[in-house]
Amino acid sequence: MIYKVCKPRTELLPYINCFWVLEINNSDSNNIPIKTIPHGLTELITIYSGSGVINSVNNNFNIKPDIYFRGQRTNYTIFCDYEKIGIIACVFTPIGASSFFSIPINILQNLTVNLCDIIGHRAITWYDNLMNIEDIESKIHFIEEQLLQLMKERHFFSDKSIMASITAINQSQGRIFTKELANKIGLSEKQFERRFSSTVGIMPKKYARIVRFKSILQSINNNPTESLTSLTYNFGYSDQAHFIKEFKYFSGITPQKYKKNKLIQSPCFFSNQDSMNL
């Protein structure tokens, strides 16, 4: 198995969080299901070899060699029924996808769609050219070039108010109210929610919940002995039952099981350390 994460070129840093590459061969996979968790970011996924199925609470999606856009996820998903797979994923920043694509990103929440559905037949030419490139680094460079071209055509100007609200949510670890954010930028709550969701692809309240969940995972990973009572209090939950319910909603397991099974979190995956060495 090969798994690696790399940063984009400098001019794309405001729009692309990272690229990740995953290659699994028949001999090293044993077809172990791979769980992905919500991270508040959208992705452009290039499958250059193999196939599989993405199972989610909302729908199932068969993937094969092609380019796909994956919208904001509000639940965990399971990638399964694969034998060999080669993937390059471009993980956008919260505002990133809106910088390249003109559709409202929120209409793709919890969906994986072919890139042709967004940019038309040019996606076919894009993929054909990509498949003629052999090494991974050059493939990523090609994807960066295509995205830069899309951004030039888009003439998109980042919404500074929404960017500021994203920063505020991240800094508060998701513990901030939508009304408070709207007041800070001089919008009604409904106006703010519309602008945020069309740009980021998800409602601000749900984005804040995901940010809080990611912060909890980081806290557990840094201090595995931290008690559930402490986590409940430190992250502002009303009671432990609510905290456990929220954790299970996003991950599919309880925090106790997360600790017990020595689960790890990469920028993209959530898996058993003994079965998937990332």
Closest Cα partner for 185 from 170, 166, 157, 171?
A: 166
Q: Which of 127, 154, 181 is the last residue of a domain?
A: 154
Whether residue 174 sits in one domain with residue 257: yes
Q: What pLDDT is stored for residue 29 in this prediction?
A: 54
Whether residue 100 sits in one domain with residue 38: yes
Residue 262 tokens read as 């020595």
Whether residue 200 sits in one domain with residue 124: no
Please report, for the domain that includes residue 193, its CATH number: 1.10.10.60
- Name the DSSP class of 111: -
Interatomic CA distance for residues 162 and 187, integer angstroms? 11
How much helix, strand and coil, in percent to the nearest 5, is found in the chain? Answer: 45, 20, 35
Does 174 map to a domain?
yes
More confident: 266 or 255: 255
Whether residue 57 sits in one domain with residue 42: yes
Q: Mind listing the pLDDT tens digit for each residue in 191-214?
A: 999 999 999 999 999 999 999 999
- Mean pLDDT for the chain? 88
Task: Judge contact between 73 and 56, C-beta under 8 A.
Answer: yes
Q: Averaged over 95-112, what is the pLDDT?
A: 93
Q: What pLDDT is stored for residue 268 in this prediction?
A: 54
Whether residue 104 sits in one domain with residue 73: yes
Does 198 map to a domain?
yes
Number of domains in the chain: 2
pLDDT bracket for residue 123 (50, 70, 90): very high
Task: Judge contact between 187 and 202, C-beta under 8 A.
Answer: no
CB crowding 184-200: b at 16 or more within 10 Å, else e: ebebeeeebbebbbbbb
Q: What pLDDT is stored for residue 273 in this prediction?
A: 35
Q: Which of 107, 130, 154 is the last residue of a domain?
A: 154
Give the dihedral of Cα atoms 77, 79, 81, 83; nearest 10 deg.
-170
Q: What pLDDT is stored for residue 81 in this prediction?
A: 83
Whether residue 173 sits in one domain with residue 219: yes
More confident: 245 or 25: 245
Interatomic CA distance for residues 124 and 23, integer angstroms? 23
56: which strand partners? 77
Does 134 map to a domain?
yes
Whether residue 205 sits in one domain with residue 115: no
Whether residue 173 sits in one domain with residue 129: no
Task: Determine which of 1-5, 108-112, 159-163, 213-217 has the lowest per-residue pLDDT on average.
Answer: 1-5
Q: Which of 154, 174, 195 is the last residue of a domain?
A: 154
Does 278 map to a domain?
no
Q: What pLDDT is stored for residue 225 in this prediction?
A: 87
Whether residue 254 sits in one domain with residue 173: yes
CA distance to 164, 171, 274, per residue, from 243 (Å): 27, 20, 27
Q: What pLDDT is stored for residue 263 in this prediction?
A: 55
Interatomic CA distance for residues 193 and 179, integer angstroms? 10
pLDDT over 80 (residue 27): no
Q: What pLDDT is stored for residue 28 in this prediction?
A: 56
Does 20 map to a domain?
yes
Q: What pLDDT is stored for residue 106 in this prediction?
A: 95
Task: Judge contact between 193 and 207, C-beta under 8 A.
Answer: no
pLDDT over 70 (residue 265): no
Whether residue 168 sits in one domain with residue 150: no
pLDDT over 50 (residue 274): no
pLDDT bracket for residue 172 (50, 70, 90): very high
pLDDT bracket for residue 3 (50, 70, 90): confident
Interatomic CA distance for residues 118 and 43, integer angstroms? 13
CA–CA–CA angle 139, 76, 278 (5° rounding): 50
pLDDT over 60 (residue 269): no
CA distance to 9, 49, 96, 152, per residue, from 147 (Å): 12, 22, 10, 9
Does 47 map to a domain?
yes
Whether residue 117 sits in one domain with residue 35: yes
Please report, for the domain that includes residue 98, its CATH number: 2.60.120.10
Residues near 125 by beta carbon (within 8 Å), at least 6 away in sequence: none
Domain of residue 170 covers: 160-272
Does 277 map to a domain?
no
Does 24 map to a domain?
yes
Q: What is the pTM of this model?
A: 0.89
Q: Averaged over 212-218, what is the pLDDT?
A: 91
Q: Averaged over 16-35, what is the pLDDT?
A: 80
Whether residue 257 sits in one domain with residue 194: yes
